[in-house]
A and B are shown apart, each in its own frame.
Chain A
């Protein structure tokens, strides 16, 4: 049984988002035909809220909510899945200068997994850093599809993925309710817990999926006589 999750989104717990989790779930429920998600993974900026409990909302909407984090490193932003007390003791998530290699290796050793996000984005994506510095080791997957990408950024990500043979994830990077689920990741297996998510990410059994509406071609001008 496949599972489709938006692996990258921000609720009002992030300082630059105003989206309540409840509103995200309501939006998904109303638009499941367009964005068929089984759940979302909250990746709040530079923090992890270990006390967050969304079980009541999960039950109400029938949509899973998992917790992760987005940290900032010397190779750009990275999603950390499977955050636990050991990881939080080792790394100060509020530090915007974390050593990326240490984060990747340290998190893996402590039971989690790191996915560099929006690699095609200037300054805070892997591509810019790979242009100037040696590539990182032990990167299993990077985010191919990001709902906040500007023109050309996902293409840069795709080229990086092809060059290095990474697996590819997708996430909306939503900061606004209406953007939730525009990009997601489809797992072959049933995923119901953060431990299962980490296991499937490490196993590579997933693909990025794009639910963004296709833009129509530039509208043709309507002849004056036809108006």
Chain B
């Protein structure tokens, strides 16, 4: 039996977070934690002379922003079990110290497939990160798999 859901949920933002401030110290700590030494991300003086005119966060910093408190309870579920099946991150614009980043989440896609273990339903939740200027800085697609 085909998976049933209300198609109107596709594309509708179901949660939006409050702006989360980005401090230079946050970027520094993140770089230390992953061993990042590129001066574009770690050295304000060197970064000022670089292509971005100042310090920016490493691209993977985008995944440190937390979803809203109700994110997981709002994700559509199919079946009894499931797991996080991975993430795709699209980096659009640099994140800089002083930015205020907010996340808006919507269901991008729901699809079924079959594999060695049987049929599965995948729900793709797209979290779009925007800064205080409404500029999109990244998209994070969370892939959740459910099994009956």
Q: How large is the interface on B (under 10, 10 to 19, 20 to 34, 35 or more residues)?
A: 10 to 19
Interface status of A175 (Cβ within 8 A of chain B): no
Expressed in whole angstroms, the minimum distance between the Cβ of B108 and any Cβ of chain A is 11
Which residue of B2, B111, B112, B115 contacts A123 across the interface (Cβ within 8 Å)?
A: B115
Interface status of B119 (Cβ within 8 A of chain A): yes
Residues of B within 8 A of A104 (CB): none
Expressed in whole angstroms, the minimum distance between the Cβ of A80 and any Cβ of chain B is 16
**A122→B118 CA distance, assembly (Å):** 9
Judge whether B114 and A72 touch: CB under 8 Å.
yes
Which residue of B111, B115, B122 contacts A124 across the interface (Cβ within 8 Å)?
A: B115
Is chain B's interface secondary structure helix, strand, loop, or mixed overall?
strand
Residues of B within 8 A of A123 (CB): 114-118
Residues of A within 8 A of B122 (CB): 15
Q: Which positions in B face A, CB cutoff 8 Å?
A: 2, 111-119, 122
A-B contact list, 26 entries, CB within 8 Å: A15-B111, A15-B122, A45-B113, A46-B111, A46-B113, A72-B113, A72-B114, A76-B114, A77-B114, A94-B111, A95-B2, A96-B112, A96-B113, A96-B114, A96-B119, A97-B2, A121-B116, A122-B116, A123-B114, A123-B115, A123-B116, A123-B117, A123-B118, A124-B114, A124-B115, A124-B116
